[in-house]
Amino acid sequence: MLISKKTIERVRALRRAIERHNRLYHTLDRPEISDEAYDALVRELEELEAQYPALADIESPTQKVGSEVLEKFEKVEHTVPQWSFNDAFTEEDLRAFDERVRKGLGTTPEYLAELKIDGLKVVLTYEKGRLVTAATRGDGRVGENVTNNVRQIVSIPSALERPVSIIVEGEIWMPKSVFDQLNRERKKRGEELFANPRNIAAGSIRQLDPAVTRSRQLDSFIYDIAYIDPRSDLKRSQGLTLKTQEEELKLLKQLGFKINPHFRKFEDIDGVIKYGKEWEKKKEKEDYLLDGIVVKVNDRKWQETLGYTAKAPRFGIAFKFQAEQVTTVVEDIKLQLGRTGVLTPVAVLRPVAVAGSTVSRATLHNEDEIRRKDIRIGDTVILQKAGDVIPEVVGPLVELRTGKERLFKFPTHFPLCGGDGRIERIPGQAAYRCVAKSSYEQQRRKLTHFASRNVFNIEGMGPKVVGALMAAEIISDFADIFSMKKGDLEMLERFGEKSIENLLKAIEQARGVTLARFIASLSIPQVGEETARDLAEHFQTAEKFSKAEVGKLAEIAGVGPVVSAAIIEWFKDRENRKLYERLLKQVRIAPVKKALHGKLPFSGMSFVLTGTLEKMPREEAKEKIRSLGGEISESVSKKTSCVVAGENPGEKLQKAETLGVKVLTEAEFLALLDSQS
C-alpha cells in the first residue's frame, strides 16, 4: 500500500508528541493536556498504524505501557509484568470486545465490571503478610520504589490479616474534598493551585519526604492479585477457591485491603453497557475521580485461555466515559455573518465526537481570540464542550505543527455584506462588521430571528420559507410579513393551498405580542431576550422605548454603556425609525404588567430548565416563572433555587445534584405552578 509523505510525517509527529506527554504525565507528574486529549492522540496513532501496517514499530508509544522511572528513586524490577488495558470509547467498541471474547472462548462468558479510578497505579509486595515493597508501574518492567511514602497511606495495611506472600495491584488517589481544601489554603497563601487530584496524588507519592505524603491524606483501592505464593494455603484457611475475579476481590477485602464496593457481575455485555452509562451520569457523586469502568471476564481460567497481547490482556478492556475534550484538525477558518452584521470567525474542523455528539464547526469568537490562542489553519487543536452543547477550541498542540500551517487574516471585503462588500473593525471592540448596513444574508437572518419561536413565534416560517419569500421579493423587512396576501404566495413552488392557509393563519395569530418580544425582534445590537424584558418592564410602552435617552437607560440594572449606545444608535437611523412606525401599525402590543418582585411567590428565586418539557412549551414555562417573580438562568450554580428537569436532561441536572440544588420533575413543577394560581 502506497503511503503518502504527509501520513508518514503525521505518524512521526504523533509519536514524538505522545512520548513527550507520556513522560510529562507518568514520569514528571506535570501533564500539559487532559487525559482525554492524550487519549485522542493515541487513538489517532493507533488508527493510522492499523491502516498502514508498514508503519508499525515496536518502539511506538502504542506498544508501551507507561514511561521511564525517575533517577532519584531506586529501581524495582516487577516480578509480574505490568499490563495496560486497551480502551473502548463507544458502545460499538465494547460489543466488538465481547465478540472477540466469545469467539476466543466459544461461549458467552460472565463479566465483572469495576469502576476505573483516575489515580496512580501501585504494585504492593507482601512477604508472610508484611509489606516489603511498594512500586509504581513505570514502564511495565521496572518501576520506582516508593515504599516509605506508601506506608503513610492509612488504607494500605503494613500487615495483612493472614501471613500470606502476595503481590497485589491497585490505585492511589486523593479525595476530591481534600484536593479542594488544599487549593483553598494555597489560594489564601497566594501559591499556584494544583491542577487536579490525580496529579497531586502522583506527586505526593513520588517525592522524597514521607511527611508530605502523610499530610496529603491519600487513599487507595486494591483491585487485583498478580501473584500468590503457592505455599500459602488460602483455599483451606480462607474457604475461597479463587475461581473468579469476584472471589479475588472478596479475598483482597478479607486480607485487609480497601476495595471499591461498586463492582457488579453481568451475564452479558448489555448489562455492562448499562452499568457504564449509569456511572457516567453519577460519577461526580463520588469523592474520587472516575474516568470509566474496567470490564473483565469473571472466570480466571477463561482469563488464562484468552491470555495477553504484547501490551494488554485479551480478557479485559477499559471503557472510557464520553470525552469532554478531544483533539482534531482545523481544516479552514471561515467568516459567519450574524443578524446584527457582525462577522464571526468559525473553525471548520475535521469531524470529531465529543461529549456525545459529532462536531465539525466551532466559533473562534474574534480576531483577538485567534491571536491570543495562536490558532492557525492546519493546526491540531484541543476541542471541548463548553457548558452543555457549545464546542470550544481550547488551543493548538504546537508540537504537532509541520510548518505548513497558515495564519488567518480578516479580509477587507466579504461578499454577503452587500454594497461593495467592505468590512471594518468596530471601534473599541475585537469584532468586525459589514460597512453596508444591510445585506441579503444579514437580512435573511434577521427575518428568520423575527419569526422564530422566542420572538413572534410564526409557525412554519423557518429559514427555508424566509429564503423563498425573499428570493421571490415578497418580503424584505419585518413589516412586509404582516402585509402578505394569499395571492402573493400562490405563485411560489411547494406552497400548496393548505400550507398557504396555515402560514397566513400563523402570521395573523402572531400579531399579538408582548413588548419584550417586540423589542427582541428588532435585532438591535447587544439587545437579547433578557435585556429586552428589562427594557419592556422599565419603559412600559413602545412609544416611551423609542424615545429612550442615555440617562433613562442608565437607570436600568444590567444595561451598561455599550447596550445604551447601541439602542440610541439604532433609533438614530432614519430607516430604522420608519420600520419601527410601520410595525407598530401592524401588531398589537399587550400592556406590560410591572412585576411586583417583593410580593410575588417566586421573588428572589432563580430557575434553570433542562431537558424537554412535554406538557408545557419551555417558553411558556419561562413566562410562568417570570410572572410569579422568578428569574431564568442558563447555568446552574450554588445560587440556583431550583432546576426543572424534563425528558433527556443534560449536564445541568448532574451539576444540580452535585451542588445539592433542588430538582423538580415536570409534574412537580406543574404542581408547584398550580399551587400558586
Phi-psi region of 659 (alpha: psi -120 to 50; beta: other; left: phi over 0): alpha
Cell digits for 150?
506508601
- Residue 315 falls within a domain, yes or no? yes
512 and 649: one domain?
Answer: no
Any idea what the CATH number is for the domain that residue 569 is in?
Answer: 1.10.150.20
pLDDT at 65: 55
316 and 342: one domain?
Answer: no
The model's pTM: 0.53
48 and 172: one domain?
Answer: no
Only one residue has cell 422568578, namely 630
CA pair distance 60, 34, nearest whole angstrom: 21
405 and 463: one domain?
Answer: no
Domain around 36: 5-63
451 and 494: one domain?
Answer: yes
- Residue 431 falls within a domain, yes or no? no
Q: Which of 64, 116, 296, 652 is catalytic?
A: 116
For the chain, what is the domain count?
A: 5
Burial category of 75 from C-beta neighbours within 10 Å (exposed 0-12, middle 13-18, buried 19 and up): middle
Average pLDDT estimate for 17-39: 76
59 and 81: one domain?
Answer: no
Residue 134: closest CA among 116, 155, 161, 163: 155
When mean pLDDT is compared across 277-291, 306-320, 487-501, 652-666, the lowest value belongs to 487-501
Residues in a beta bridge with 362: 347
255 and 107: one domain?
Answer: yes
Burial category of 375 from C-beta neighbours within 10 Å (exposed 0-12, middle 13-18, buried 19 and up): buried
153 and 14: one domain?
Answer: no
Average pLDDT estimate for 531-548: 88
164 and 282: one domain?
Answer: yes
Render pLDDT for 451-492 as a digit per residue (tens, 0 to 9): 998 899 999 999 999 988 887 768 878 988 998 887 678 767
- Residue 70 falls within a domain, yes or no? no
Average pLDDT estimate for 415-435: 82
520 and 546: one domain?
Answer: yes
Q: How many helices (H) and strands (E) does the chain have?
A: 26, 24
CB 405 within 8 A of CB 387: no
Any idea what the CATH number is for the domain that residue 391 is in?
Answer: 2.40.50.140
Render pLDDT for 350-383 as a digit per residue (tens, 0 to 9): 888 777 667 788 889 899 999 999 999 999 999 9
Any idea what the CATH number is for the domain that residue 663 is in?
Answer: 3.40.50.10190
Active site residue 274: no
Within 72-207, strands assigned E span 75-77, 87-88, 111-117, 120-127, 130-136, 142-144, 166-173
- Residue 365 falls within a domain, yes or no? yes
pLDDT at 239: 47
Domain final position from 265, 297, 320: 320
Mean pLDDT of the chain: 86
Average pLDDT estimate for 191-208: 79
When mean pLDDT is compared across 231-235, 343-347, 412-416, the lowest value belongs to 231-235
CB 321 within 8 A of CB 39: no
pLDDT at 354: 78
- Residue 289 falls within a domain, yes or no? yes
- Residue 68 falls within a domain, yes or no? no
Domain final position from 320, 340, 359: 320
Only one residue has cell 405552578, namely 673
Only one residue has cell 469473571, namely 298
Residue 149: closest CA among 107, 76, 186, 203: 203
Please state at what angle helix 651-659 crosses helix 269-282, rounded to 10 degrees. 60
Domain final position from 273, 290, 320: 320
pLDDT at 64: 61
Residues in a beta bridge with 357: 354
pLDDT at 548: 86
- Residue 394 falls within a domain, yes or no? yes
613 and 523: one domain?
Answer: no
Cell digits for 427?
471601534
11 and 137: one domain?
Answer: no
